[in-house]
Amino acid sequence: MNKARSAILKASNDPAKDHEILAAAENILRARLQRLGVIHNAADAFNFLRVRLGGLLHEEFHALWLDNRHRILNCQRLFTGTADAASVYPREVVRAALSHNACAVILVHNHPSGVAEPSAFDRAITKELKEALALVGVRVLDHVVVGETCVSLASRGLV
């Protein structure tokens, strides 16, 4: 952990070094979440997800799989897209939920533009995934859009 902390403290203009630093930061946040063992509030998830997805130049769609007490089972990248879109397939999301024996999920994807405002597609896929996952007993707790900030669709009443 000390090596990871020292890497974060060193500023860099080298993209390869930046990737190393971001990976170290992600490991620190993952360790904190695993130590907590549970998502207590939106800030816990936002901090982890912002570091994981905030600097990407393409869209990625992830799922933070949780058990029935909201303890973290896995944070899984499900789909990788382009600079402005990622295809999301409900069948594959349901398959992943079942493979993790998840009871709940926080969906998350990034907007490389930095603008975290949910699109019409974001709202539609959230509804579709919520319905598909409900059929197998998995609750969608939130769908977080990561940009320069994080926007929770649940906080807007859209989940």
Tens-digit pLDDT profile for the chain (159 aa)?
455 455 545 555 677 787 788 888 777 766 655 544 567 777 777 877 888 888 889 999 999 999 998 888 998 999 999 998 999 999 999 999 999 999 999 999 999 999 999 999 999 999 999 999 999 999 999 999 999 889 999 999 988
What is the pLDDT, as a whole number, of residue 55? Answer: 83
Q: 39-156 has which CATH code?
A: 3.40.140.10
Q: What is the pLDDT, as a whole number, of residue 2? A: 53
Partner residues linked to 108 by β-bridges: 62, 144
Q: Where in the chain is the domain with CATH 3.40.140.10?
A: 39-156
